[in-house]
Each structure stands twice: as structure tokens, then as C-alpha cells.
A and B are shown apart, each in its own frame.
Chain A
Amino acid sequence: MKPAPFDYHAPTTLAEALALLDEYGFDAKLLAGGQSLVPTMNFRLALPEILIDINHIADLAFVRNEDDGLHIGALTRHAELERSELVAEKAPLLAEAMPNVAHSQIRNRGTIGGSLAHADPAAELPAIMIALEARFRIQSQSDDRWIAASDFFVDLFTTELEAEEILTEIVIPPLPARTGCAFLELARRHGDFALVGAATRVTLDNLGACSEARIVLLSVGNTSVRAVLAEQSLQGKALTGQNIRDAALIASDQDIEPPADMHATEKYRRQLTKVLAERTLTKALERATSAP
């Protein structure tokens, strides 16, 4: 469990890091918190020839509020997001999910950018970003572009990021009025990747009916999965217990093709999806009802 040989660079500015990426492209890997990359290197599943450590780029780590939403630097540690009062106020769904991301030791090192770039379908942060309609800033030496979270995740451990690009910043827009969110997940042990998780967001119209629902599920496909049919089934409807239960059933039966592994069969994942969809929708509704 020792990594294969590699060259190591530790740039202190983004420009330097981008230049290195431009030079080495596919042969290089960025090292953020290392909580996903280092284990795969130790198993020799990842064999980068060049490691570009971005931990010394100070201005990649920040949390600040601006008019267009909450801005988070890609190098911000999970622990920082977990403890940030600004996050709790502006993006309570993110704050609610953070304690579920791994264990506290890992949250001290792991970064939001690393988690999003790694794109594990069982990770919480991609689902949260899709539920909150976040946008990601992606930079390379020749380009600086923004992409919607829902377009970023392509497949298992695969994103829109090119080899010479760095994810630098995340923006979470403010929530619309009368909106409530909820996150729940089930794992074998506290801190494990979820067997199934659900990030849900509900917006009510003036009459109290659902004007928009978002249900984003984790660990049930190759990426975080939006339960589109279930969302549609709630559009314009009063969120009665029955409607929520029906939507949860649609989510678990029609919206997903969950994988089976040694911890959960496909059927069990569908069952957990149904339960979590129902529970998060119910909670999100409660919160939307009392929201300004």
C-alpha cells in the first residue's frame, strides 16, 4: 500500500497551478484534501506521474456572501462548511448534510472542490449542489467558465472537468421565498458513504401548493440522480401525505435504477429511497410552510 513514484509540485498561486496543469495535462493530478486521491494512489489504482498540491494556494479557501449567493472557494474544508454560520444561514441544506460527510478527521482535510471533482455517486455534496442549483467556476490557463451543477456530473467519477482545468469556486444562489429543504441519509455506520440519501427542496406558491419540488438522490445510480417524474408529480399540487407518498413511490419505482452491492440489494435501495423521499419531502414541506 505504497504509491508508485511521482513528482511533486506545490504551487502557491492559482496561475502557477494552471501553468503546471497546462504543461502536464493527463499525467498530472491535483491534490486537495487527499482523502479520496491518496487511498487510490496507495492501492496503485491511481498512478499519476505528477502531483500538483493545491493546498498552498491560500485564496482558494473562502466562504463569503454576495448578492448573487453564497460563494465558496474550492479548497474550503468540509469542517469549515460544517461550522460556518454563514453556511447555516444561507444554505441550511448544505449545513444539514455536512455532518454526514465522512468522519470528523476526514472532514478536517477533505475539500468541497475535491469532493465535487471526485464525483462519487454516494457523496453528499454533488446531490446538495444539484438540489440548490449551484454553479461552478472552472478555470484553465486559456479559459474561465461557469457551469451549472446539474450539467457538471457526467458519469461515475466523471465530470465536465478537462485535464488542464481546476474547479475554483462554487456559488449557491439564494433560496426563493416559501422554500424548505431537507437532507437525510442512511448508512451502515455513522460516517460511511450512504446506502441511500435524499436532498429535497420544496417551494410553495401563494395558495400553499407546490410550485417546484427537487428530489436529488445519492447512491442509487452512476451520479446523483434527480427523481424527475416524482418532482413532476408534485408540481402544482397540494402536498398532502398521500401526494407525498405517491411521489416517493414514483421516485423509488420509476426514477432510479439502483445498483446492488454487498451492503444493499436493488430492492432494498428502492425501499430506502421511498422512505427517505417521503421523510425529506415531509420535512421540507414543514420548513417551506414556516419559511418567509
Chain B
Amino acid sequence: MATRYFGEPIKRNEDPRLLKGEALFVDDVHLPEMLHAAFLRSDYAHARLKGIDVSAALEHEGVVAVYTADDLGDYWQPGPLLVPPPPVERLTFHQRTQVPLAKDKLRHVGEPIAVVVATSRYIAEDALQDIELDVEPLTPVVGLESALESDAALVHDGLDSNLAAHVIQEKGDYAAIRAKAEVLIKRQFVYDHGAAAAMENRGVVADWDSKAQQLKIWDTTQAPIPIRNGLAAMLGLSESQVQVIAPFLGGGFGPKIMMFYPEEVVVPWIAKQLGRPVKWIEDRQENFFATTHERSQIHDSEIALSKDGRILGVSDTFLHDTGAYAPYGLTVPINSQCTLLGPYDVPHYYSEFKAVFTNTVIVTPYRGAGRQHGVFVMERLLDIAAKELAIDRVEIRKRNYLKPDQFPHNHEIIYQDFAPLIYDSGNYLPALERAAEMIDYDNFIKTEQPQLMKQGKCVGLGIVSYVEGTGIGPYEGARVKVDASGKINVATGVGTQGQGHFTSFAQIVAEQLGVDIEHIRVVTGDTSEFGWGCGTFASRGAVVAGNAIHAAAVRVRKKVLKHASEHLEAAEEDLVLEGGKAFVKDVPTKSVSLGELAQMSNPLRGAVKPGSEPGLEATDYFGPERGATASGVHAMIVEIDPETMMLEIKKYIVVHDCGKVINPMILEGQIQGGVAQGIGNAFYEELVYDDDGQLTNASFMDYLIPTANDVPTVESDHVETPSPLNPLGVKGAGEAGAIPVGPLFAQAIEDALSGFNLEILKIPVSPGKLFELLQESGDGAQ
């Protein structure tokens, strides 16, 4: 079949609606009689909650109800453990999940305590100020290392320490190989990742129709089906009585996963109690405290090498901040542990981590989901090794890449999807060589940089590699249907947050049915349209939902061909599907439209053949046996003002391999956006907690998201190494742009400031921090 849709840079189907303001977001839902909720949140990081008096709040005109934990009765339950710990032998895990409204104890600033429901959000917020709390402050647990000291205060009273989990995974025998190593490099690394800060904050609208006994919920979730199933069970309703709609979302990036956030759980319950629709929209300030973060890890790492720069083994022991609760299990630290290995052949690996409870906002995956932390460690170790061994940094990476004949490659440890960490396919050298060529590596190092340095300019280059485990199971499903009008309807369960699903999914269907994508309507994230599936996360939309849609489209294609061959009295092999029609090859006049076929397959009178199904419709599912490993290389040139440490990005290159590309334009957008977030992580954003557990920069004035002015245009190119694990050969691409930016900055900055004695072991870095580092190293800015 001629490829006309799959792989083409087709403009996004959804953009006209988005640009004209015609797309529905949760806050656009306005219902008659709707009430508005506002949550009272803890000002304390750690405190005993001894009493709540809501009587004054209830007296405000316009206040309809105020609820505390006690009012929830049996509905008050700690949230579900969303991801149980993977089957790793040496693993301890202490399950503690968030509660709908705090009872007895407050465990982080921003934890919800009570909710006011009023006729407007303004009134609800006025009333919040009149709720009286009786609170006894406790010592906040903030630092990762101090949290594990024996005299530390306890975040959870029932545990003997703040240890949330302890995991050891091992491959080979690091201790033995260490004894034989010619070079050992040991460092401590700190990597901090921040808030996803999606453009749209979270929000929930719930509407209980008591006559129909139906609950309808609009929710900014990446995973509407698990939310429907969970809420139905909690509320004692059948799944078919609950509809969850995740309409257009202004970004998800992980924290909008099926979290069963307190607001997500409480607002539908209130709507049912009051019999009136209730809306809660998170504001930007709340978003800093009420939506999950990613944060820091401290790694003590060592790499053992031969003199010629070959990796013999790596040992890495780290602490992971999981915040006040750990509802998402160990996904983030396991990702760090596994992704550290990168595209490299590491024969011996010892990895141990402790996840630690602290009195800070909960940590769950945010674009990259811990992969950044691991990649930083490995790339930095290699940079330092390259310097020590006087091997070129591109060369040391080449020497250690897994070779194409080493795939599938088993790393012999367990990944976040509970399956062994086996890379499906990969071919790393071409991407590195292409990136080096695009950034003009040899010329820059040999000619340009020395010349500019002579003129007193500080210019530097970074070039780093990474892999990204993507497209994990368990499964997704889809239904594809041809309407009598000839239009195609596609429904799948995953939510959409701006990834271009309405176009890339349509391209997959168009490829099978020969229908232009503007005639293909894709519905995502509405449980009444499709009720089976998991959600959008872990760069799995294209891989898992994409392949389910492909499978359903292939089945519809078969039905179309069968009906058309009967109708046109031609062999199926001789038929072509194009322009919404089936026709006989070389005889385009002998044709029938898909719409006509759909009508004929759904007759109103007469008899149908025994065993026939009505319509041109099929539902199918896809579940990969394990994830598909994407990979790539980022390269960058920076210039630093040696007097002020201000940095300018001169050039930014990404060469990426996500297998078969569905739509290169959408892919470019994903990469560009990911790089922007990566730059934020590496150079601008930091959640700064003080010793009292207060987040001191909970606004966009001090939490610095890079703007369009601060992000360069990324030049990108692609290598295509198809995944053998799915029929489309695709791998995920959602997180790739964001993953290796930290080590890229570190390497490029060290290169630009090679005249100084500087080692960057912490991310984020900033001009001010660079200045401090140079002061410490005694070099100082002049």
C-alpha cells in the first residue's frame, strides 16, 4: 500500500478549534445551579490537627456547606496505591497514600483540611478565612539526609523511620570488577527536578443526576477510565453510572495521571450529597502545593573503567525524596535506577536506593519521571572519566555504546512496568554521528572554540546520550467505525493533553482506510465513548493506543474490502481504498464509497446473511509484552559572559530515534516542548523549601519557567530503528526532549569555562550558582 498518511507532516486536525477558542476545557463547563468549592489548606509542613471550627464559615451568605474529614464518614479512605512495588527480591516498601481531607495530622504545606462550597468561588474563599484550626506544630522533616537520622521527627507515626522504600538491584558483580578496574571515579551528584506547571491547572466538575442516577464528571485527568472505575467503587455506584470526561487539557506532563487527588475524590461526593453540580478549579498558587512535584535525589556514584575508557561497572546508591506520601509507588526512583544505564554496555551494576518520606508535596512522575536523574549521573561520570583519561567525550561514548547486534539487550534488572529491563532495539552510533555533524563538532573543538577563546569569549559545547523506556503496557483499546456519511469515528480511552492525538491517531486510521484525516473524528478520554484502557503516561499513547487503533482499523479495512468485493464483484486483492472510496485497481469508475458500504452493512429491511455483524466497525486492543526503548543525542553550544555568568544558547541539536515516525511535525513539537521543559529544569526552575518546610517560591515570579524568549529553536533530525514489539514499529517520544538537558548544560558550561577549575555536580544550575561555584573553587569571576 502506498504510504500517504502515516509518516507525513500533516497539520494538526485539532488546532483550528483550539485557536478559535472552540475547544472545551474543564473550566468551560457551566451548569445551572452550579456551586463552587474552595479548599482550606495547611499552612504547616508538619503539625498535629487537634480541632476544626467551621461555624463562622457556615454563616457567610452564599455558603452552602463546609466539610471536614469527619463529615466524609466511611467515604474517608486513604487513596489507592496506584503502582504497587515491582517484583524485585531485595525490596522493602511502606505504603502510605494521601487522604481526602487531613485528619489528626498535617503532613505538608497545602494538604487539604476542609472544603467550603458556595455560590461563587469568591465567597468560598472569603469563608475559608473564617475557619478556625487548633493546631500543634511539629518539627518539619525536610532534608533528605536528615530525614533518615535516628532522631528525626516521623512523617508517619506508625513507622519506625521516614524510610518509604529500600530497593537493591544488581547485575553481575560490581565489587569483584571494581577490584580489577584501572580507573575508578567517584562523585556525589544532586539532581533536582521541579513542578510540571502545566498551562492549565487542575479542575473537576461533578454533576449528579438523581433522576437518571448518573454521575458525570469532567476532570483534568490523563487517565479517565481508572478514575471512573475507582470513583464508582468508592461511591458505591456501578461503573456504567459514572461517566468521566477528560476534555481538552492544557498540558498534563504526569501529575494529571490517575492520582485520585483529594479534590478529585471529594468534589464528586459533594455533588452527590448536595444534588447540585460542583466545580473546583485549582488556582496557580494551589498548583504549587496541591499538585504533585518531582524533586531531588542525592546519588553517591562510582564508575569503574579500563584505561581505554571501557565501562566495567557502575555502582550507584541514592536517596529519593518521595514527599509526604507515595501513592505512585516506586516508578520515579526505579526509572532513575534503570535509565542510568543509558545506551551503554554496563556489564556490572550495583544500584541501591532509599525513598524517603518528607513533609513536602508528594512526588510522582513528571515528564521524564526520574529518568533525568539517572541520565545525569551516567553522563557526568563519563564526562569526568573522559577528562581523566584524556579521551574525547564523543569517543568515550562511542566505545561504550551497545552495538546493533546486542539487541534485544537484557540489563538483568526489573523496570517500572515489572518486566525485565530488555531493550527491544537500538542503533546508537548513527544518531551520535549525525548530532556531531549537525553541531559541527570537530570544527568547533579544533578551530572555532580556540579562536573565540583567544578573543576572550567563553564558548562551550555539550553532547550527551540517553535512552527512554517508553510505551509500557498493560494495554489500550480502540473502536473504529465508518458512519453512513463516510466519516470515520475513532474512540480510545486515553486522555489527551495537547499531544496531537486527534491527528496522529487519525493518520493511523487513514493509512488503512484511505480517508483524509479531516473526515476522521477521534474521541479520547470520554468513558462513555470507550470504557477500557489505562491512560496517557510513560510516552505510551502512540505506542499502545496507536497500535490498538491500528489493529481496529485493520479489522475495519478487512470488512470494507469484503463488502466492497461482493458489491463490485471484484477480488479483494484488486481493490484500492482511496479518497473515501473502494475501487477496482485501474478502473476507478468501478467504485463504491465507504459511506454506501456502511449503509449496506446496516440495512433497515430485508435479510442479512447468517453470522454477519452489522456495520463497518471493529474494536481491538493492544498490549505490548514490555516497553520499547527510544534513544537520542542532544548537543548544544553556549556562550557565557565570564563576568556575569549569564548564559546564551547559540545552537541546540536533537537527533532522536523513536522508531517509525507517525507525524514528523508533531514529533518536532514534542521535542521542542520537551527541550523547553528540560532547559527549565537544568537552568531556571527550582522548588525552594526552607527548613520549616515552606515552599518559598510558589509563584511564577520566583519559580522561573523559561519563556519563548529563553528557549532556542531546536534543530532536529531522526534515526528510525523500528520496534519489533508492535506492528507499527513505533516507540514513544513524549519525554525525550526533556531527559538529558541537565548533563548537557553541565558539560557545555564546563567546556565554556574550561579556564576555570569547575565541576558541575548539581542540577539546576544558574548564573548565581555558577558564580558561587567559581568563588568556592577559588577562581572567581573577574
Given known contacts A2-B121, A2-B122, is B709 in contact with A190 (CB within 8 Å)? yes
Task: Choose among A43, A189, A193, A195 the residue that contacts B285 (Cβ–Cβ < 8 A).
Answer: A43
The reply on B558 being an interface residue by CB < 8 A is: no
B29 within 8 A of A: no
Determine if B709 and A262 form an interchain contact, defined as CB atoms under 8 angstroms apart: no
Given known contacts A186-B646, A190-B707, A191-B707, A263 and B121 CB-to-CB distance under 8 angstroms: no
Complex contacts, B766 vs chain A, CB 8 Å: 188, 263
Does A262 contact B696, Cβ atoms closer than 8 Å?
yes
Interface residues of B in 86-135 (CB under 8 A from A): 121-122, 125-126, 129
A213 proximal to B (CB < 8 A)? no
B283 contacts which chain A residues (CB < 8 A)?
1
Assess whether A272 is interfacial by the CB under 8 Å rule: yes
Within the complex, what minimum Cβ distance (angstroms) separates B643 from chain A?
5
Pick the residue among A189, A192, A193, A268 that contacts B771 (CB under 8 A): A268
Known: A189-B709, A190-B707. A264 touches B285 (CB 8 A): no
Q: Which residue of B lies closest to A269 (CB)?
A: B768
B704 within 8 A of A: yes
Q: In the complex, A3 Cα to B129 Cα: how many Å?
A: 12
B238 at the interface (CB under 8 A from A): no
Interface contact B684-A271, CB-CB below 8 Å? no
A44 to chain B, nearest CB (A): 8
Whether B697 and A262, one on each chain, are in contact in the complex, defined by CB atoms closer than 8 angstroms, is yes
Distance between Cα atoms of A268 and B644 in the complex (Å): 8
Report the nearest B residue to A187, measured CB to CB. Answer: B646
Residues on B with C-beta less than 8 A from A292 are none
The answer to whether B284 has its CB under 8 Å from any CB of chain A is: yes
**Contact among B121, B126, B688 with A262 in the assembled complex (CB-CB below 8 Å):** B688
Report the separation of the CA atoms of residues A264 and B643 in the bound assembly, to the nearest whole angstrom: 14
CB–CB B704/A191 < 8 A: no
Kindly provide the distance from the CB of B498 to the nearest chain A CB, expressed in whole angstroms.
22
Given contacts A189-B707, A262-B702, A263-B768, contact A1 B126 (CB under 8 A): no
Any chain B CB within 8 A of the CB of A275? yes
Task: Given A262-B696, A268-B771, check contact A188 B644 (CB 8 Å).
Answer: no
In contact, B781 and A189 (Cβ under 8 angstroms): no
Q: Is B706 part of the contact surface with A, judged by Cβ < 8 Å?
A: yes
Q: Provide the bound-state CA to CA distance between A189 and B701, in Å.
A: 11
Asked if A267 CB lies within 8 Å of chain B CBs, one says yes
Is B602 close to A, CB under 8 A?
no
CB-nearest residue of chain A to B282:
A1
- Total interface residues on B, CB under 8 Å, equals 31
Report if A265 contacts B (CB, 8 A): yes
State whether A271 and B707 are in contact (beta carbons under 8 Å apart), knowing that A1-B283, A4-B126, A265-B772 are contacts in the complex: no
Q: How far is the CB of B491 from chain A (nearest CB, A)?
A: 36
- A275–B311 CA distance with the chains assembled, in angstroms: 44
A192 touching B704, Cβ below 8 Å = yes
Query: Is the Cβ of A188 less than 8 Å from the Cβ of B126?
Result: no
Q: Which residue of A lies closest to B705 (CB)?
A: A189
Residues of A within 8 A of B772 (CB): 265, 267-268
**Which residues of chain B have C-beta atoms less than 8 A from A268's C-beta?**
767-768, 771-772
**When the two chains form the complex, which single residue of B285, B686, B702, B710 contacts A190, counting CB atoms closer than 8 Å?**
B710
The answer to whether A189 and B704 touch across the interface, beta carbons within 8 angstroms, is: yes
Tell me how far the C-beta of A224 lies from the nearest C-beta in chain B, rounded to whole angstroms: 20
Q: How many A residues have CB within 8 A of the partner chain?
A: 25
Specify which chain A residues have a CB less than 8 angstroms from the CB of B704 in the assembled complex: 188-189, 192
Q: Mark A87-108, 1 if CB is under 8 A from B, else 0.
A: 0000000000000000100000
Tell me, yes or no, whether B775 is within 8 Å of chain A by CB.
yes
Residues 167-206 (chain A) with a chain B CB within 8 angstroms: 186, 188-193, 195
Contact A265–B768 (Cβ < 8 Å): yes
The answer for the CA separation of A159 and B160 in the assembled complex, in Å, is 55
Name the B residues within 8 Å of A188 (CB-CB).
Answer: 684, 704, 766-767
Give A252-270 interface residues, CB cut-off 8 Å to B: 262-265, 267-268
In the complex, what residues of A have CB within 8 A of residue B771's CB? Answer: 265, 267-268, 271
In whole angstroms, what is the CA distance A36 to B232 when docked?
A: 45
Complex CA distance for A4 and B123, rounded to whole angstroms: 9
Residue numbers in B under 8 Å from A2 (CB-CB): 121-122, 125
Query: A1 contacts B285, CB within 8 Å?
Result: yes
In-complex Cβ contact of B126 among A5, A43, A190, A193 (8 A) = A5
Contacts of A272 in B (CB 8 A): 644
A67 to B126, CA, bound (A): 53
Q: How far, in angstroms, from A275 to B772 measured CA to CA in the complex? A: 16
Tell me, rounded to whole Å, the shortest Cβ–Cβ distance linking A189 to chain B.
5
**B193-227 to A contact mask, C-beta < 8 Å, 1/0:** 00000000000000000000000000000000000
Chain A residues lying within 8 Å of B284, measured Cβ to Cβ, are 1
Give the residues from 691 to 739 in chain B that come closer than 8 angstroms, CB to CB, to chain A: 696-697, 701-702, 704, 706-707, 709-710
Residue on A nearest B641 in the bound complex, by CB: A275
Chain B residue with Cβ nearest A190: B709
Q: For residues 1 through 34 of chain A, which have their beta carbon under 8 Å from a beta carbon of chain B? A: 1-5
Bound-complex Cα distance A202 to B704 (A): 35
Q: Which B residues lie within 8 Å of A191 (CB)?
A: 707, 709
CA distance A263 to B697 in the complex (A): 11
Given A1-B284, A2-B121, A263-B702, do A189 and B644 touch, yes or no (CB 8 Å)?
no
Per the bound structure, the CA–CA distance linking A2 and B38 in Å amounts to: 11
Query: In the complex, A188 Cα to B646 Cα: how many Å?
Result: 8
| Residues on B facing A (Cβ under 8 Å) | 121-122, 125-126, 129, 283-286, 643-644, 646, 684, 686, 688, 696-697, 701-702, 704, 706-707, 709-710, 766-768, 771-772, 775, 781
Given contacts A262-B702, A264-B768, 17 further A-B contacts (CB under 8 A): A5-B126, A188-B767, A189-B684, A190-B707, A190-B710, A191-B709, A195-B768, A262-B686, A262-B697, A263-B702, A265-B768, A265-B771, A267-B772, A267-B775, A268-B771, A271-B644, A272-B644
Closest 5 CB pairs of A and B: A1-B283, A190-B709, A275-B643, A2-B122, A268-B771
Residues of A within 8 A of B (CB): 1-5, 43-44, 103, 186, 188-193, 195, 262-265, 267-268, 271-272, 275
29 A-B pairs whose Cβ atoms sit less than 8 Å apart in the complex: A1-B283, A1-B285, A2-B125, A3-B122, A4-B126, A5-B122, A43-B285, A44-B129, A103-B707, A189-B684, A189-B704, A189-B707, A189-B709, A189-B710, A190-B709, A190-B710, A191-B709, A193-B701, A195-B768, A262-B688, A263-B702, A263-B768, A265-B771, A265-B772, A267-B771, A268-B767, A268-B772, A271-B771, A275-B644
